[in-house]
Structure 1
Amino acid sequence: MKKWLFGLLVLILAASVAACGNKEESSGGSSDNGDKTEEIKIGSIIDASGSAAPLGKPEEETIKMIIDEVNDQGGIDGKKIKLISIDSKSDQNEAVLGMKKLIEQEKVTAIVGGTISGNSLAMIPLAEKAQVPYISLAASKQINNPDDNSPREWTFKTAQGDDVVIPKLLEYLEGKNLKKVAWLSVANSYGTSGHEEFEKLKGDYGIESVIEEEFEATVNDAKSMLTRVKKANPEAIIVWGTAQESAVVTKNIREIGLDVPIIESHGIGTKEFIELAGDAANGVIFPAGKLLVVDELDDSDQQKEELKKFKTSYENKFDKAASTFGGHAYDGIYILLNALEEAGADKDKLREALESTKGFVGISGVFNMEADDHNGLKSDSLTMIEIKDGEWKKGE
């Protein structure tokens, strides 16, 4: 009897072990019938800290906000989005290492990020070689179209490029009859790219640069440079940089008594610029996306509803003003999600879907991409903005 009972217990135990072994492990959520649901793994590389953090932090926050919202709604075709977010710390080497990790170790389907142009340009060769769709959030024309005849295959961009912004800036100067200008640009890829476009186009608008100077991204006093600028007697000064360094130069312009119009790049479209520049920010004019002046837009503007939706969502969640840089991230992540919904996670099909983006009403503009235009924005994506009493106002 004891032997019989022992044998029965062995059989029961064996059956139990076999049953456990047949249960499927699941990750990323599962359906009611126990089937495994795959995740779609994407990466982001953002300058959430360091000198570019005023641009990068709202980008990081926006991406995470949107991914959480999409996953709460069931993901893409029932698949949750797994986001692997890397802080590149405003450092080019960190950006490159982040790109290598996402491609080689994490094997992501696509990558969104690159807060500043230099970091984006450094990451691009890795994405192109690995044939991984990459959507940059930085501005330089060199990112998606290094020359007019050979656009990059796997790289896309959501920020307005120099080829869109510089004509808008020159058109403003021409309209105000400001012909003799000083050109001051940050000494990095963003400044170089802007300067190249300015040099190429200024003659078409009758603009002459009476002096051209560069300043470092780490500048804390530009007065010696500006003394030379003052002697050149420009009718206006163009400052081409991003929030932190441009704020220093702007303050110094007013401190040495240069009382001429200051026109800047879209790189200053964050409240941090106003805080850093103080009273010197008042009167500054720059071309930027419409988000900053959404309440002044006509109701017929096709972007207005989307702009207000993003502004409300972001400000309710983070209790601070939405910025155009968060808008670049909003556009990048939604353009990617739309392409994933259309094409799935196959990289070749995904690239084709991104390239076929048409009529996407975003924060930076209305996107219409082509094989030879992986940005898809025109000058109507910009408006001239003036800072008055520390606030953004639609320029005249």
Structure 2
Amino acid sequence: MRQLLIACFACALLGAPAVQAQTLKIGGLLETSGSVASLGQPGLEGAELAVEQINKAGGINGKKLELVNINSESDNTQTVSAVKRLTGQSDILALVGPMNTGSSYAVIDMVQRAGIAMVSNGGSRGIVLPVEKKKWIFLAPLTDTLVQKVMLEDMKKKGIERIALLNSDSAFGTSGREQLETQAADYGVKIDIQQTFGNNDKDMTPQLTNIRSKDVQAIVVWSTGPAQAVAVRNIRQLGLDVPVYLSHAANDYNFLRLAGESSNGVLIPSSKLYVTDSLAEDDPQKPVIERFVADYTSRYKRPPATFAGNGYDATMLIAEAIKAAGPDRKAIRDAIEAIQNHVGVTGIYSYSADDHFGILPSSVEMLVVKDGQFTLGN
């Protein structure tokens, strides 16, 4: 007995209980209050649903999975503080990153120094670039570059050559502007005028009045949250009768609610979440999305937003890596990077040492709003 007690004490000093623990813990940085709560709350719900499904199926290698989420309040400083708290706990194996692009940028260096993998839910390509300097950072959502390729291809098919860009001054909006400026010419599209607004602005009439003077063939609005609805309502009020393209952040029921009838006709490059019934029977994502929608609706009594799919996928990706690598932070990072053809709600994921975006182009569909509903575009 004396030898056993000595051995147990020695193991405690060496941190062995973390290895022997019957619960595997991952950290969450999902915002349930503040300006990005409309993204973070469904993201947390999706992550919690993933944990519930995993545990009902027997856990990971026989151990329960637990998500420890800290509400960052949509604030970069609070997110940094949350990362410090989570990474300071040796039994936190990986992080489900914030929905807020700016907060994702704010914690990259700290996550790198801590040596813990983070699957971010921010929508900017720059979060994981350059990969050689951000080896511990991965993305789960659609990226601005990927969805813009689908959007620009749609413009090309429709003969649209001159556009206006209206973007927010947030990290997401700025990144979207940079990516669109980089690749528009490849599709024969020219940005005739670019205007910026504050992400919390309640009126974009001055910027849109400037755009109206240019007689462009389409308008692109790149932002998150309620500002997208404000911009679309202002566009309709000014009688700008041209196609309106929004970022993938608009594939959200909150946008439809806030924009009302003004949303009809807008075009959104999106995941397949809202158009599952229209997908081909052999689409590999169809059964995954159908199960997700059914389980989410049963638990939360409402249909899921696209951001719930992001949180769900990020958690499932980490769980797959833990299953393959065990409770070791570095091994988990390596295992995420090795994931191939993981079928998720938002997309099909294949990572590599050179690609931490993950989602394959086949995961994106062009949607159009008809009668207040998301539908597949023509």
**TM value normalised by structure 2:** 0.92
Tell me how far apart the structure 1 counterparts of residues 165 and 229 of structure 2 sit (CA, whole Å).
16
Tell me how far apart the structure 1 counterparts of residues 151 and 255 of structure 2 sit (CA, whole Å).
19
- Structure 1 residue 90, shift from structure 2 partner: 1.5
Tell me how far apart the structure 2 counterparts of residues 82 and 322 of structure 1 sit (CA, whole Å).
21
CA contact (8 A) 1:151 1:372 kept: no
Residue 48 (structure 1) aligns with: 32
CA contact (8 A) 2:350 2:360 kept: no
CA contact (8 A) 1:185 1:240 kept: yes
User: Over aligned residues, Cα RMSD in angstroms?
Assistant: 2.0
Q: Aligned to 2:262, which of 256, 260, 280?
A: 280
Letter in 2 for 1:329: G
- 1:28-47 to structure 2, matched below 5 A, reads 37-47=21-31
- Structure 1 residue 75, shift from structure 2 partner: 2.1
5+ residue gaps, structure 1: 1-17, 25-35
CA deviations 1:152-177 (Å, max 9, x no partner) are 21011111112211111111111111
Is residue 2:60 matched to residue 1:76? yes
Letter in 2 for 1:85: N
CA contact (8 A) 2:170 2:223 kept: no
Residue 117 (structure 1) aligns with: 101
Tell me how far apart the structure 2 counterparts of residues 69 and 302 of structure 1 sit (CA, whole Å).
19
Q: Which has the higher contact order (CA 8 A, sep 6+)?
A: 2
Q: Aligned to 2:234, which of 244, 247, 252?
A: 252
Is residue 2:266 matched to residue 1:266? no
> Per the alignment, do residues 42 and 165 of structure 1 end up closer, same or farther by CA in structure 2, a change over 3 Å counting?
same
Worse overlay, 319-328 or 302-311: 319-328
Tell me how far apart the structure 1 counterparts of residues 63 and 151 of structure 2 sit (CA, whole Å).
44
Residue 91 (structure 1) aligns with: 75
Letter in 1 for 2:298: N
**TM value normalised by structure 1:** 0.88
CA deviations 1:309-364 (Å, max 9, x no partner) are 11111111111121221111111111110111110011111111100000101112
Is residue 2:207 matched to residue 1:225? yes
Tell me how far apart the structure 2 counterparts of residues 339 and 330 of structure 1 sit (CA, whole Å).
14
- Structure 1 residue 266, shift from structure 2 partner: 0.3
Tell me how far apart the structure 2 counterparts of residues 359 and 46 of structure 1 sit (CA, whole Å).
26
- 1:162-181 to structure 2, matched below 5 A, reads 162-181=144-163
CA contact (8 A) 2:45 2:311 kept: no
CA deviations 1:129-149 (Å, max 9, x no partner) are 111111101110011124xx7
- Structure 1 residue 228, shift from structure 2 partner: 0.7
Residue 103 (structure 1) aligns with: 87
Tell me how far apart the structure 2 counterparts of residues 106 and 41 of structure 1 sit (CA, whole Å).
10
Q: Aligned to 1:196, which of 159, 169, 178?
A: 178
Residue 311 (structure 1) aligns with: 293
Aligned sequence identity (%): 34
- Secondary structure in 2 aligned to 1:46? coil
Residue 122 (structure 2) aligns with: 138
> Per the alignment, do residues 297 and 325 of structure 1 end up closer, same or farther by CA in structure 2, a change over 3 Å counting?
same
Worse overlay, 314-323 or 279-288: 314-323
- 1:236-385 to structure 2, matched below 5 A, reads 236-385=218-367
Is residue 2:373 matched to residue 1:391? yes
Is residue 2:195 matched to residue 1:213? yes
CA contact (8 A) 1:145 1:373 kept: no
Residue 15 (structure 2) aligns with: none
CA contact (8 A) 2:325 2:331 kept: yes
Residue 11 (structure 2) aligns with: none
